[in-house]
Structure 1
Amino acid sequence: MEKHEMMSLEDSGQLRDKMRFFEQELLKNHHIDPNLYVEYNVKRGLRDSAGKGVLTGLTEISDVNGYNLINGRQIPADGRLYYQGINVQDIISGLNGRRFGFEETIYLLIFGKLPDKEELSRFLDMMSDMEELGGRFVRDVVMKGTNANIMNAMQRCVLALYTYDDNPEDISPENVLRQSLELIAKLPEIAVYSYHAYRHFRKDDTLFIRNPQKGLSLAENILLMLRPDGKYTELEAKVLDIALILHAEHGGGNNSTFTTHVVTSSGTDTYSSTAASIGSLKGPRHGGANLKVQNMFADLKSHVDQDHWDNEDEIITYLKKVLNKEAFDHAGLIYGMGHAVYTLSDPREVILKRFAQALAEEKGMTEEFELYNRVENIAGKLIMEHRKLFKNVCANVDFYSGFVYSMLGIPEELFTPIFAIARMPGWSAHRLEELINANKIIRPAYKYVGHHTDFVAFDER
């Protein structure tokens, strides 16, 4: 490699040596006494002492509920999730044998109501027209600068779409609606094509690019474009569609959606807002939990022989080691367990678990599903005992989503991008809600706890 193209190993080593001094300076001069957060009653993470989110806005888009309010007291209850006031369980049940519902969910979140047959037909026709990326964009943007983190590639491509938009800066609701629907339609291609480009240019795999087919659902087109043979079963597409519905929206306070509100409030363009939300979801504390669950189960299987998957004592022994920071990543966390709002159950997990079981039966993976089920039944009680908690600990949607994606043959590199594809309608609905209703930049306060000092002349330092 030419020196002007890439820093040599020798040069990079010298740079690291030079950086060490500045790294030490950074750490030395940016430490805040944690007691000051208590003294000034600062809600770290915008959460109170009980972990409940600080109220920062109003929304009609979705409601996340894990309690019943009885005589002024919050009583733990099975979780409920509402999209535009409609229970998500009813949305899933209401498909009534129809194969796909994600597109209806998009319509519901953005327009505030379920579409009738004519409205849905017109909507699907329009979305189908919007999904094409075009060969020039695929060649000049998607195929350039590939890397293993597809979320980064999606950010880059979304920002590049600004250049291809004749009216990118217009933040009128009408124009933002058009931009949002185009992004919802195009993100699946961006994600899947970016993955294929990465595998080809970085892993020397055969490159194939398959266009989405008009008339197919978004879930079907993801599987069509992803797989070399383009084939999938009806159940596979149905389960992916359900997963997309369940991940489409989860209140205005989750990190990436709150990012949407914050960035939108500044008056910036749709592409910048979307890239910021993708950046938030990319963080392992937000969008990467399902991959953590998968990796944890891989570690469990290395410690518990398959013949002993039904041995609860061996599973308990392993999980206790995880909680004691003696196994897996030594973080002391059983991933996929617990939620900030839900108490007795996460409705998304309850629904996805049912479809995961059906898919496992089709794939001949019922033993593995039973392992997940067994860990779920054991882990909540262990966590409560270990942390001396009185609040119930339930499995969240991430517990089974990675398992579902793996059964669908979706590579790990696309786990979080699939989440982003699903969440794009929610981000879009919240962006439009912020633009239409708020009209005020979000600007919380930070308390200064440093010390004022006199300026020292350069020669006297």
Structure 2
Amino acid sequence: MTVNKESLTAHYRPVIPSASTSAMLHVTDVRPMPSVSCGREPVSDALYEGFRNIDAVDPALYEHYGVKRGLRNPDGSGVVAGLTTVCDVHGYRKGPDGVEPDEGDLLLRGYSIGDLVGAAASEGRFGYEELAFLLISGQLPTYAQLADFNDRIDSRRALPVGYLSLFPRTTASTSIMNVLQRATLLLYAFDDDPDATDPQHEVDVAVSLLARLPRIAAIASAAYSAEANQSELSIPPIEPGLSMAETILRVLRGPEGYTREEARVLDTMLMLHAEHGGGNNSTFTCRVLSSSGTDPYSAYAAAMGSLKGPKHGGANFKVGQMIDDVCDHVADPSDTEAMEAYIAKIAAGEAFDGTGLLYGIGHAVYTLSDPRAAIIRRYAGALAEHKGLSRRFHTIEAIEDLAPAVVSRVRGTSKPLCANVDLYAGFVYDMLGIPAEMHTPIFAIARLSGWVAHRMEELYGAGRIIRPAYVVPWASTCPVYVPIADRAGDEPPLPAPLAQSSPH
């Protein structure tokens, strides 16, 4: 079923000329960076390169002092940093000999992600809002509770009066993730009591952001396209009753419209990205900030900054580039010998970006399987066949099937590897017509409900500021302070001339 395109087209209207928004633009600072304006003379070497003599710590010292580098145990498992009832990311079992690989599962408030996604699919409805309610409240909603939750989200879809007059001037950026962070912080200014941390205010802010962030991100993306095409930015009016997925597609796809099936696939992606435990980098960032008692806008904006990183949410972009590269070098994905040979070249650092990394393969927790990858693979296959992109899908499948063994052979490691959700996520977004710059923002929008649950657990459960310790390995060999006049290679400055006295 296709959304009524004629009706959608009729309701579109230019609301902001493209020249009036600076979203996704690069603004050049006429004052260059100090390394340019002042140059890189030898006298600046200590400033710019002194860290090399002190910051590089001998890896053996971590073991000597019993420090868990990256908050990881020697067997790769995570250091326990707290207790949570929000989520369990299961990927291995702890045995007498250490970590034992196991099939992956993702439990949200005790419910398997497969069951949650499957229930929504079997009933032909959207599931993200139900999942968000579950994460925030701790229980599955009744029909009445879910309808009330959706009504509350609808009530906050519209941006504050005056917001768009400020928003464009504060969003100059080459990254929508950066735009989303500043847009979140800007909403702080429109909150009558932004620093309140009582439960009612926390839920109100969460509902507001769930309502507004999809539209803000989509507007930023549409503004970028409008500027690139020298056209006017057209944004559809708010339509009550739409799901999160439909709201995103309604702005991004414009008068072209979208099918319900496409919206359901995006809804599934939102569900898969909604929550993934308290130890992932962005959620832990949110918990650290929340433990200080800071406002919700600051905590969620910081989490977005973490998610942007290429080692976290930004990884899906590299996956797409890698798949393009494989498709360019292997004509037939069913040619196992050719696929294995090229994957081996990537793993050896002889192909693609030279890093030796197989993006989308391997995970910090999952060993034998990532349940999210297994779910999205089914949707990706069906959509790829419909879109005429079966060859690319089969290339991704071949990477998933062959890469773990090839990487282990090339690197000489026995660590179990499996495909993670990023291997398929970017491909699905591409098929939905979602531009690359929106892939990670959609991840952030989906993950918001998980951040909310963990923030509230930190505020009302743990209730203690997070403050781990760091070991100082040179504590017994502290340097002796040397007066500036006695420091080697230094010339005292010439005395400044005395100021001339003005005659009275």
TM-score, with length taken from structure 2: 0.86
Q: Give the aligned partner of residue 501 of structure 2.
A: none
1:263 is the counterpart of 2:289: yes
Contact 2:152 2:207 in 1 (8 A): no
Pick from 88, 99, 117: which aligns with 1:92? 117
Q: Is the CA contact 1:196–1:207 (under 8 Å) kept in the aligned structure 2? A: yes
Supply the distance in 2 between the matched residues of 1:9 and 1:110 (Cα, whole angstroms): 46
1:253-332 matches, cutoff 5 A: 253-305=279-331, 308-332=332-356
**1:313 & 1:281 partners in 2: Cα distance?**
36
- Displacement after TM superposition at 1:440 (Å): 0.8
Amino acid at match of 1:239: V
Correspondence for 1:178: 204
Report the AA paired with residue 228 of structure 1.
G
TM-score, normalising length from structure 1? Answer: 0.93
Instruction: Decide which of 391, 403, 418 is 1:379's aligned counterpart.
Output: 403
- Measure, in 1, the Cα distance between the counterparts of 2:99 and 2:45: 51
Corresponding residue to 2:378 among 354, 373, 377: 354
- What amino acid is aligned across from residue 353 of structure 1 in structure 2? R
Q: Distance in 2 between the 1:317 and 1:297 partners? A: 15
How big is each residue's C-alpha offset from its partner over 1:277-321, in whole Å with a ceiling of 9 and x where there is no partner? Answer: 00110111001111111000111122223xx33222221121111
State the AA in 2 paired with 1:370: H
Aligned to 1:64: 89
When structure 1 is superposed on structure 2, of 60-69 and 399-408 the one drifting more is 60-69
Corresponding residue of 2:184? 158
One-letter amino acid of the counterpart of residue 452, structure 1 = C
Matched to 1:60, the amino acid is: T
Q: Is structure 2 residue 61 aligned with structure 1 residue 17?
A: no
2:18 maps to: none
Give the match for residue 413 of structure 1. Answer: 437
Taking the TM superposition and a 5 Å limit, the aligned residue runs for 1:46-57 are: 46-57=71-82
Secondary structure of 1:228's match? helix
Decide which of 206, 215, 218 is 1:192's aligned counterpart: 218
Q: Matches of 1:128 and 1:370 in 2, distance apart?
A: 40
Q: How big is the alpha-carbon RMSD for the aligned residues of Structure 1 and Structure 2?
A: 2.1
Per-residue Cα deviation, 1:333-364 (whole angstroms, up to 9, x for no partner): 11111112212211100001001111112212
Give me the whole-angstrom Cα distance separating, in 1, the residues matched to 2:399 and 2:479: 56
Is 1:396–2:416 an aligned residue pair? no
Greater displacement, 185-194 / 256-265 = 185-194
> How many aligned positions are there?
455
Q: Comparing 95-104 with 66-75, which one deviates more in the overlay?
A: 66-75
Matched-pair contact (CA < 8 Å) for 2:333–2:395: yes
Superposed structure 1 runs of 4+ greater than 4 Å apart: 8-12, 18-21, 68-75
The residue that corresponds to 1:127 in the other structure is 153
1:71 deviation in Å? 8.4
Instruction: Report which stretch shifted further, 357-366 or 426-435.
Output: 357-366
What is the distance in 1 between the residues matched to 2:283 and 2:103? Answer: 24
Shift of 1:85: 0.4
Distance in 1 (alpha carbons) for counterparts of 2:270 and 2:161: 27
Q: Distance in 2 between matches of 1:16 and 1:454?
A: 31
What is the CA distance between 1:194 and its match in structure 2?
1.7
Q: Distance in 2 between matches of 1:369 and 1:358?
A: 10
Give the equivalent residue in structure 2 for 1:237: 263
Per-residue deviation, 1:139: 2.8
Report the Cα distance in structure 2 between the residues aligned to 1:355 and 1:94, rounded to whole angstroms.
Answer: 15
CA distance in 2, matches of 1:194, 1:16: 36
> Does the C-alpha gap of structure 1 residues 444 and 40 become closer, same or farther in structure 2, counting only changes over 3 Å?
same
Q: CA deviation at 1:165?
A: 0.4
Task: Find the aligned partners of 1:329 and 1:431 in 2 and give their Cα distance.
Answer: 37
Q: Once the 2 structures are TM-superposed, how far is the Cα of residue 142 of structure 1 from its aligned partner?
A: 3.8
Paired amino acid for 2:465: I
Aligned residue for 1:229, secondary structure, equals helix
Query: Is 2:52 aligned against 1:27?
Result: yes
Aligned counterparts of 1:393 and 1:237: Cα–Cα separation in 2: 31
Residue type at the aligned position of 1:55: V
2:336 and 2:251 map into 1 onto residues whose CA distance is: 41
Counterpart CA distance in 2 for 1:32 and 1:6 is 36
Cα pair 2:77 2:99 within 8 Å, conserved: no
Aligned residues with identical type, % of pairs: 44
CA distance, structure 2, for counterparts of residue 175 and residue 424 of structure 1: 16
1:98-134 C-alpha deviation (Å, 9 max, x unpaired):
2210000000000011111111111111111112114
The code of the aligned residue for 1:379 comes to A
Question: How far is the alpha carbon of 1:196 from its aligned partner?
Answer: 2.3
CA distance in 2, matches of 1:73, 1:32: 27
Cα distance in structure 2, aligned partners of 1:457 and 1:200: 60
Residue 139 (structure 2) aligns with: 113
Say which SS state the counterpart of residue 82 (structure 1) adopts.
strand
> In the aligned structure 2, how far is the partner of 1:8 from the partner of 1:77?
55
How far, CA to CA, are the matches of 1:328 and 1:339 in structure 2? Answer: 20
8 Å contact from structure 1 (residues 150, 191) kept in 2: yes
Cα offset, 1:202, TM superposition = 6.2
